[in-house]
Structure 1
Amino acid sequence: MSDTQQVSGSYWLQTAPGGPPRPALAQDLTVDVAVIGAGIAGLSTAWELARAGLGVAVLEAGRIAAGVTGHTTAKLSAQHTLVYDRLRRTRGTDAARLYARSQTEGVERAAEIVDELGIACAWERRDAYTFARRPGRVGELRAEARAAREAGLPASFVTETGLPFSVAGAVRVTGQAQFHPRRYLLALAEDLVARGGQLYEGTRVTGLEEGEPCRLATEDGPVVAARHVVVATHYPLFDRALLFTRLSPRRELVVAGPIGADGDPDGMYITPEENTRSVRTAPYGPGQRFLVVTGEHFTPGTGDTRARFADLTAWATHHFPDLRITHTWATQDNDPTDTVPMVGPLHAGARHVYVATGFGGWGMSGGIMAGRLLTALIRGEPCAWSGLYDPRRLRSQVREAPDFVKNQAKVAGHFLGDRLRPGGSLGSLGPGQGAVVRVGTERLAVYRDDDGDTHALSARCTHLGCLVAFNSAERAWECPCHGSRFDIDGEVVQGPAVRPLERRRLRTRDAEGTGDD
């Protein structure tokens, strides 16, 4: 990708635009449950609650189903790469079984909803595969197949797949699914409103006062009073339990486009090798399928995103020679240090505030599962796997200690180390380029637009103060510590930050010079 080339955008968003924006919240509101975030976890929770007869309002800072969910690979599967053998070893066989049951319920609940609402969302049943090409990983795959089978999944070890290259082995789980996530969620949103639920877009929540009722402050002034609050903002908007210390943000790239139907690998595939490669297809046109290839995971704000896009494109076109790439985009998720998502009470003292986060790249089945689990908790009903996902869990935190320490060391490295590195040069910035530069005693995030004008911002992330870095392919400022993202004018694109980067004015000699005075 060239210096000025940007990602073209998500196929899911472009093929299901969703119509005009829904209104922003304009006056104070009182409801049974306020759900913050309108991705798959938030909308699934709101729909389940409304279906149970509760009064629900969904508050979304942007557009519904347009954030992480709008950029997903959209696999609905209980097979999550190599999770079951690790769960068996670290949490025990019962935990592995509960994980399999709960994720399978997420897949099957989606199937029920598609059928009940008659949603045209390109629903297809497909087998899911975790594969490896290196013979040295065969033992790991065999152990995963055994663990997944013992957990109750229809899993087996195989050596043949539909991929256009040979593999050393793969874990195959039959009867999984894939769909068009935005069409699914737009239909869910319409039915939510038909059931009396309220949906507000362009409504950023900025404050939470816990109590009876809880009170939510919004950026533009209106206050929401709610008996219960669900924080489903991907990364916790309010983090009174310091969950961010147990989450690691991960960004991945996507290249996609049509291929001939005879080249369809007929399945959903993923490998941890080659910095992750994920493959699936979707219905397209006569004699064609739409191929979606995901990979090149990295921490936001690190490395050369354009080079990563080039590597992923080269891999995809090498193995699928007739691929005509029409769409490129990126997605982001949070990996929990102990593998299992965090769904339940926000912190140890929480009585009416809940969170859903840390889906580790598997938010489709996980988000739907979270909707069912949170509805049960709010209604005071039992759920067999509430303990497995409880954010307050303690036993697993001992086992996750090495990953926890590694994650915090990485964050500390960015927080301190990035401040010691020399700044970029203002004079060297070309159109479409950005860099963190030192101007006087301050670090500024400076972007030069295609007309040559500069946009200067404080480089301190408004979440916890780490320095942002520029993503040239997506033209965005990204925080490497906790994954907050901002546009070139500093507005929040993705949390946990809720406030924009502060704007700065460059003096003429700064804008024309090096900025290293």
Structure 2
Amino acid sequence: MTGDIQVDVAVVGGGIAGLSTAWELVRTGRSVAVLEADRVAAGVTGYTTAKLTALHTLIYTQLAASAGAEAARLYAQSQQDAIEHVRRTAAEAGIDCEWERRAAYTYVESAGEVEKIEAEAQAAAAAGLPASFVTDTGLPYPVAGAVRVEDQAQFHPRRYLLALAEAIVAGGGAVYERTRVLGLDEGEPCRLTTESGFTITATDVVVATHYPVFDRALLFSRLVPHRELVVAAVIPADRDPGGMYITQADNTRSVRTAPYADGQRLLIVTGESFTPGADEVSARYDRLADWTRQRFGVEQIVYRWAAQDNHTTDKIPYVGRLHPGAEHTYVATGYGGWGMSNGVMSGRLLAALIDGRPLPWTDLYDPRRLHPLREAGPFLKAQAKVAGHFVGDRLRRSRADSVDDIAPGTAAVVRVGGERCAVYRDEAGSLHALSAICTHLGCVVAFNDAERTWECPCHGSRFAIDGSVLQGPANHPLQPRHQ
């Protein structure tokens, strides 16, 4: 941005949820501005494994038991609607996004777990999905049982979303990158302020920043961040397992392939779920790579990266009005690892809500819902974990007693002059010291040795070695400390 602007709707966040929302709103004739702190489709969406599926591990047995059969049906309908909406949008806009139809599977290898897979197949079918129980898959190893859902898909999200961003601009909208939003005034009209001091005046505001950057809804108390690792290897096309697979065993293993050069396929394997700030992330990568080599016979891991998402306390995303008193502010978050279908679903739901025509599943995703009995256990567990980090991390002894104990290429949180400092020593021996206190709500950050980032274990904020914000909800950098 280079100056103040006024629009009908301001969308904060340029990932799949934000861009999908903006696209839907532009089509209604509204003036829309997307405000992205970095580059569009380059944050969490840029690191997805890109499954477009309504089969989200064992969600339907859980939903049917906790929220009822109608909730499960609406969830399935909304997710399948999102898949087909991507197909239609790509076809209508002429977007080459490597769209491929694939069946989706949730599987188990232990005979003792088959019963829950059979139950999920029945629950998914009852919810309206083309689901069945099978024992044969395209995987190169046997499974004891699997839920198979037909007519799912996979695609290249950046190709799709970059084309969508162009379509938003062509339709009269605006997309502003390198524009971090810091303030929100929920007046009539609403006003947003950026770190550069510019003001965006809008009738409605959508907060689609993955983890909400505004805490007034207190959603941080009902969101639990988790991070997963991804490795990829090139395989011949005739060794493609021909589907999208996931198991909750081995701390999650998710498998799919994507088109690659010279007619080959890129095998993409995700797993090793952990809380941001956990120790020994490099060792977790090694375990995932070893599993991939053993199960698929690959010799070389050619790529690796990591993805992050947030679980809600009742496993259903929060999409709708930002808080109970909100009239013109909306939010989309809590996708639980299924951001592709949920991001598109969010765009359709929010645009319809702003346009005054709620969809059948609007109430299901309403962030203002409160189900004390259903959410009490997960809520208390999440808050106990946060409290443990907030207090315990301040008392825990560091692995380094002083800055002098930090070897090149490593980092530690050490006490310097009575203050906890996050200190990294690069390979040349130079020190990079920051305050170790997360600028979101004050938890102590920890070092990710694989990605060389500082991460908050409470709410998932991530910071670079220089303290700059890589991922919210934190909006402000870790402050430098001089040695």
- TM tier, smaller: over 0.9
SS at match of 2:141: coil
Q: Which residue in the other structure is 2:132 paired with?
A: 156
**1:329-377 CA deviation, whole Å, 9 max, x = no partner?**
0000001110100000000000000000000000100000000000011
Q: In the alignment, residue 425 of structure 2 is paired with which amino acid?
A: R
Q: Which residue in the other structure is 1:308 paired with?
A: 284
Q: In the alignment, residue 431 of structure 1 is paired with which amino acid?
A: P
Asked whether the equivalents of residues 254 and 330 of structure 1 are also in contact (C-alpha less than 8 Å), the reply is yes
Say which of 406, 411, 414 aligns to 1:437: 414
Q: Which residue in the other structure is 1:200 paired with?
A: 176
Say which of 40, 50, 57 aligns to 1:81: 57
Q: Which residue in the other structure is 1:333 paired with?
A: 309
SS at match of 2:291: helix
Asked whether the equivalents of residues 338 and 397 of structure 1 are also in contact (C-alpha less than 8 Å), the reply is no
Q: Could you tell me how far apart the structure 2 residues matched to 1:273 and 1:35 are?
A: 38
**1:31-87 CA deviation, whole Å, 9 max, x = no partner?**
000000000000000000001110000000000000000000100001101000000
Report the CA distance shift for 1:163/1:323 in structure 2 as closer, same or farther (over 3 A): farther
Q: 1:92 aligned to 2:68? A: yes
Q: 1:471 aligned to 2:448? A: yes
Deviation of the 1:323 alpha carbon: 4.9
Q: Which residue in the other structure is 1:411 paired with?
A: 386
Q: Which residue in the other structure is 1:14 paired with?
A: none
SS at match of 2:350: helix
Asked whether the equivalents of residues 132 and 138 of structure 1 are also in contact (C-alpha less than 8 Å), the reply is yes
Q: Which residue in the other structure is 1:18 paired with?
A: none
SS at match of 2:143: coil
Q: 1:400 aligned to 2:400? A: no
SS at match of 1:86: helix
Q: Which residue in the other structure is 2:104 paired with?
A: 128
TM-score under structure 1 normalisation? 0.92
Say which of 266, 273, 295 aligns to 1:319: 295
Q: In the alignment, residue 428 of structure 2 is paired with which amino acid?
A: D
Equivalenced residue count is 481
Q: 1:351 aligned to 2:330? A: no
Deviation of the 1:412 alpha carbon: 0.4
Q: In the alignment, residue 72 of structure 2 is paired with which amino acid?
A: A
TM-score under structure 2 normalisation? 0.99
SS at match of 2:113: helix
Q: Could you tell me how far apart the structure 1 residues matched to 2:346 and 2:72 are?
A: 17
**1:248-269 CA deviation, whole Å, 9 max, x = no partner?**
0000000002111121100000
Deviation of the 1:322 alpha carbon: 2.8
Q: In the alignment, residue 408 of structure 1 is paired with which amino acid?
A: Q
Say which of 237, 241, 244 aligns to 1:268: 244
Deviation of the 1:427 alpha carbon: 1.8
Q: Could you tell me how far apart the structure 1 residues matched to 2:372 and 2:294 are?
A: 42
Q: Could you tell me how far apart the structure 2 residues matched to 1:408 and 1:235 are?
A: 17
The gaps in structure 1 that reach 5 residues or longer are: 1-24, 507-517
Q: 1:109 aligned to 2:82? A: no
Q: Could you tell me how far apart the structure 2 residues matched to 1:295 and 1:481 are?
A: 21
Q: Could you tell me how far apart the structure 2 residues matched to 1:451 and 1:382 are?
A: 58
The gaps in structure 2 that reach 5 residues or longer are: none
Asked whether the equivalents of residues 260 and 322 of structure 1 are also in contact (C-alpha less than 8 Å), the reply is no
Deviation of the 1:382 alpha carbon: 2.5
Q: In the alignment, residue 40 of structure 2 is paired with which amino acid?
A: I
**1:112-157 CA deviation, whole Å, 9 max, x = no partner?**
0110111111110000000011111111101100000000000001
Q: Structure 1: which 4+ aligned runs deviate by more than 4 Å?
A: none
Asked whether the equivalents of residues 259 and 324 of structure 1 are also in contact (C-alpha less than 8 Å), the reply is no
Asked whether the equivalents of residues 75 and 177 of structure 1 are also in contact (C-alpha less than 8 Å), the reply is yes
Deviation of the 1:287 alpha carbon: 4.2
SS at match of 2:220: helix
Q: In the alignment, residue 480 of structure 2 is paired with which amino acid?
A: R
Q: In the alignment, residue 56 of structure 1 is paired with which amino acid?
A: V
Q: In the alignment, residue 418 of structure 1 is paired with which amino acid?
A: D
SS at match of 1:503: coil
Q: Could you tell me how far apart the structure 1 residues matched to 2:397 and 2:61 are?
A: 44
Q: Could you tell me how far apart the structure 2 residues matched to 1:166 and 1:303 are?
A: 32
Say which of 235, 258, 261 aligns to 2:211: 235
Q: Could you tell me how far apart the structure 1 residues matched to 2:262 and 2:337 are?
A: 31
Say which of 21, 30, 50 aligns to 1:54: 30
Asked whether the equivalents of residues 292 and 298 of structure 2 are also in contact (C-alpha less than 8 Å), the reply is no
**1:211-262 CA deviation, whole Å, 9 max, x = no partner?**
1110001001100000000000000111212101111000000000211112
> Root-mean-square deviation (CA), in Å?
0.8
Q: In the alignment, residue 465 of structure 1 is paired with which amino acid?
A: G
